[in-house]
Amino acid sequence: MKVERKLEHHGIGLALCKRLLVEDGELHLCLACRNMSKAEAVRTTLLASHPTAEVTTVQMDVSNLQSVFCASKELKQRFQRLDYVYLNAGIMPNPQLNIKALFSGLFSRKVIHMFSTAEGLLTQDNKITADGLQEVFETNVFGHFMLVRELEPLLCHSDNPSQLIWTSSRNARKSNFSLEDFQHSKGQEPYSSSKYATDLLNVALNRNFNQRGLYSSVVCPGTVLTNMTYGILPPFMWKLLMPVIWLLRFFTHAFTLKPYNGAEALVWLFHQKPESLNPLTKYLSATTGFGSNYVMREKLDIDEDTAEKFYQNLLELEKHVRVTIQKTDNRS
């Protein structure tokens, strides 16, 4: 069994790999990472506790299409099939907190919803990549999409289904996404837009690939304290908010807090028959106030026609970037 994994050092990715090896110590994990020194360090850590596993690495940066193409070529040379592809890599560049919205929300009926989803709290910077695309869109959505397109020969086997598992978010808001600006070049919440785009793409992929033996699911790890989330607030703010967060865990179970807990839904999907899953459902990692983990289900706020239009837009963008890259290669 081969599991291709996008790894975030000390985050959900590492926790997931550790938990998967506990489930099956003879897995073949392939860690697709941008930073190879960190990837090798993680590989050594995993093999130290699970010496019968096979853990390999491949260099890949999903914000760079040439990197995606090179990694895909290498994977196709190594493997005949991939059973699971966890699409977890993502960025939230320079998140900025709306302090006014935070404090007004603290004293409103929406406080639990606000903390669970971060709705209205965060804005992010964005920039253009070397591929001429919005960075958050390329990193969180399009780079993954191109990876899936490149790996279709390893994923589409009707005799034994393969599964894509995307890390989405409770912050995926329909109101922050527009088909006319699906890269979110004009807005201030590219992270939310990219996660809603992930949900749309998930629905479209199931519609177009289930008959070929490829299934897709989206998960939300909950509110996990990683390098990404710690960067949102100064350390003293986290110290002030932590008692509130621990209290809120008794009213909403979105505060998984630890990467181990956040990986709950991703590990649960590892054990499911993909053809039995509902393509219009998001699977949420949840942790009770007393620390017990479980999986919740949430109906996606998705119009299937919009999902298909978005998928077609991505196919058109794919054609455009391939032509551009080919012209650049020819000039070189």
- For the chain, the residue count is 332
Phi, psi dihedrals of residue 148, rounded to the nearest 5°: -60, -45
For 254-268, the DSSP string reads T--BSHHHHTHHHHH
- Of residues 84, 191, 215, 260, which has the active-site annotation? 191
294 is catalytic: no
For 227-257, the DSSP string reads HHHHTTS-HHHHHHHHHHHHHHTTT-TT--B
Q: How far apart are CA 185 and CA 123, in angstroms?
A: 13
Q: What are the counts of helices (DSSP H) followed by strands (DSSP E) for the chain?
A: 14, 10
Q: How many CA atoms lie within 13 A of 305 on its CB side?
A: 0
Nearest to 225 by CA among 211, 235, 214, 212: 235
For 79, counting Cβ atoms within 10 Å of its Cβ (0-12 exposed, 13-18 middle, 19+ buried), the class is: middle
Q: Which residues are catalytic?
A: 191
